Copies of this chain bind each other. A is one copy, B any other.
Amino acid sequence: MTYECDMHTFYKGLPDVVVLPSTTEQAQAVVRLCRRERVPIVPRGSGTGLIGGATAPQGGVMVGVNRMNRILEVDLPNRTATVQPGLINLWLTHAVRDRGYFFAPDPSSQMVSSIGGNVSTNAGGPHCLKYGITSNHVLGLELVTGTGELVQLGGKTLDRPGYDLVGAAVGAEGTFGLVTGVVVRLLHTPEAVKTVLATFRTVIEASETVSAIIADGMTPAALEMLDEAIIRAINAGVGAGYPEGAGAVLLIELDGPRAEVEAQGERAAAICRARGALTVSVARDEVERALLWKGRKEAAGAVGRLTASYLLQDAVVPRSKLPDIMRELVAIGERHGLLICNVFHAGDGNLHPLICYDERSPEELERAKHANEELLAACIALGGSVTGEHGAGMDKARNLPLQYADADLNFMFRLRRVFDPDGVMNPGKLLPTHPACGETFRAARPVLPEGAWV
């Protein structure tokens, strides 16, 4: 059942129809028809989303953009490319790599996820610490809005007059309309890359090292962390050879001009040592670099060895609050008798806690739900956010009132209605739905029902 769910398997629902348009005109015809008939439209890229955004719980028409997967233009003098939404993320880099360019946003799914899907969720990735998230790399969008109109938002030149609606449309999760074209920024491939891997006794020590590296003035391309439970899983599985007693792995990647990268790599290693690292390894070549990344890349898979089921969560705290949230997550896990593993983009403060449970035990599932709610509330309490890079989708739409005032949410709701006055575009996603009337948020609290699964 390919179209029953995306990678958030908790929510399922089959659309009545799946259409796969090949052209903007076909996509526009579908939207016009659905609007006339008041039928929900659910846009979908590769279906690798983690928040239930590309599922059709109310049925309706699912519009897959997979056939619209061409690169329409590569304009190297202006460092841009114009692509169709179904293009696989990594294919764009493959197309321009030989000429010395790359497309920076690198969600872990980049081998299979579509650029349209990345735009929809405003996807991040390990290297977004230095390079920014998807919205920092989208210059323009072609959009069939929920009214069936075709609009151009932004374009190749920066800072066009009028309102910049590109920023709002990136991350709109299909609620404004169907993205049918994307103008993205291309970057020069950095001259050199240096990867440093350090292990620490505790995740607290590693978190403090993250702050020390940032405070030193460098901006690594990536600053990734693995905690003790993940390390155990990886050591048992892929055999990355992390030392006994390591409570945290910190992976630091620097890129840029060779002279800078060499100097910064040494400084980063020195900071790790000064902060009490158990081991510090610096990759000397691409093979060693791949080895250092191996554990990180296979982390989520390795957790499968520890637990029957897990919920991969996505949340954010200000970077300086990492030690606090790490302590808090340990406490939450202990309180509910559950293992919470952590693999995350430490430089961004973007956490991916994996709450491990056994779905065959309804009682354990209940504990996992409670742990999850406490985890999100803890991030908010530290000044963070209930989602970092995966979006809100169905999974977290109801959590938005934790983070926003009624007035804030109502402005979002009114903006949504500008693009989709009849509510046909991906209904029930992104913004909370009022449980009584089924309508998207209208300032009636609490939206989150008691004991709701969030």
A residues near B (Cβ < 8 Å) are 75-79, 100, 122, 124, 133, 135-136, 145, 149-153, 155-168, 170-172, 188, 191, 211, 214-215, 217, 256-257, 259-260, 263-264, 316-320, 348-350, 383-389, 391-392, 396, 399-400, 403-405, 407-409, 411-412, 414-416, 418-419, 430-431
In order of increasing CB-CB distance, the 10 nearest A-B pairs are A167-B167, A77-B320, A259-B259, A161-B392, A260-B260, A414-B418, A257-B260, A188-B217, A149-B407, A161-B387
Bound CA span A159–B392, Å: 11
Q: Judge whether B411 and A145 touch: CB under 8 Å.
A: yes
Within 8 Å by CB of A151, from B166, B317, B399, B405, lies B405
Bound CA span A190–B191, Å: 20
Q: Judge whether B408 and A151 touch: CB under 8 Å.
A: yes
Closest CB in chain B relative to A111 CB, distance in Å = 22
Q: Judge whether B158 and A316 touch: CB under 8 Å.
A: yes
Q: Contacts A162-B404, A411-B151 hold; do A157 and B383 have CB atoms under 8 A apart?
A: yes
Residues of B within 8 A of A164 (CB): 122, 135, 167-168, 170-171
Closest CB in chain B relative to A204 CB, distance in Å = 15
Residues of B within 8 A of A430 (CB): 161-163
Q: Judge whether A385 and B260 touch: CB under 8 Å.
A: no
7 new A-B contacts, CB < 8 A, other than A161-B400, A257-B260, are A77-B320, A157-B383, A158-B316, A159-B385, A162-B400, A165-B411, A418-B418
Q: Judge whether A157 and B412 touch: CB under 8 Å.
A: no
Within 8 Å by CB of A159, from B135, B400, B409, lies B135
Closest CB in chain B relative to A175 CB, distance in Å = 8
Residues of B within 8 A of A256 (CB): 260
Closest CB in chain B relative to A91 CB, distance in Å = 23
Q: Judge whether B389 and A161 touch: CB under 8 Å.
A: no
Within 8 Å by CB of A388, from B136, B159, B316, B348, lies B159
Q: Judge whether B259 and A163 touch: CB under 8 Å.
A: no
Bound CA span A400–B160, Å: 10
Residues of B within 8 A of A404 (CB): 152, 162
Closest CB in chain B relative to A120 CB, distance in Å = 12
Within 8 Å by CB of A257, from B263, B318, B384, lies B263
Residues of B within 8 A of A419 (CB): 411
Q: Judge whether A159 and B171 touch: CB under 8 Å.
A: yes
Residues of B within 8 A of A162 (CB): 392, 400, 404, 408-409, 412, 430-431
Bound CA span A430–B430, Å: 30
Bound CA span A78–B150, Å: 40
Which residue in chain B gives the minimum CB-CB distance to A100? B217
Bound CA span A159–B403, Å: 13
22 A–B pairs (Cβ distance < 8 Å), ordered by A: A78-B318, A79-B214, A150-B407, A151-B408, A152-B408, A156-B383, A157-B318, A157-B385, A159-B389, A161-B386, A161-B400, A161-B403, A162-B408, A162-B430, A164-B167, A164-B171, A166-B167, A167-B168, A259-B259, A259-B260, A411-B419, A415-B415
Bound CA span A156–B317, Å: 9
Q: Judge whether A157 and B418 touch: CB under 8 Å.
A: no
Residues of B within 8 A of A171 (CB): 159, 163-164
Residues of B within 8 A of A403 (CB): 160-161
Which residue in chain B gives the minimum CB-CB distance to A122? B159
Closest CB in chain B relative to A130 CB, distance in Å = 13
Closest CB in chain B relative to A125 CB, distance in Å = 12
Closest CB in chain B relative to A262 CB, distance in Å = 8
Q: Judge whether B78 and A319 touch: CB under 8 Å.
A: yes
Bound CA span A166–B318, Å: 18
Q: Judge whether B161 and A396 touch: CB under 8 Å.
A: yes
Residues of B within 8 A of A211 (CB): 77
Residues of B within 8 A of A153 (CB): 408
Q: Which of A156, A215, A263, A319 has the most CB of B within 10 A?
A: A156
Bound CA span A438–B331, Å: 62
Closest CB in chain B relative to A244 CB, distance in Å = 32
Closest CB in chain B relative to A147 CB, distance in Å = 9
Which residue in chain B gives the minimum CB-CB distance to A189? B217
Q: Which of A166, A317, A403, A416 has the most CB of B within 10 A?
A: A403
Closest CB in chain B relative to A146 CB, distance in Å = 11
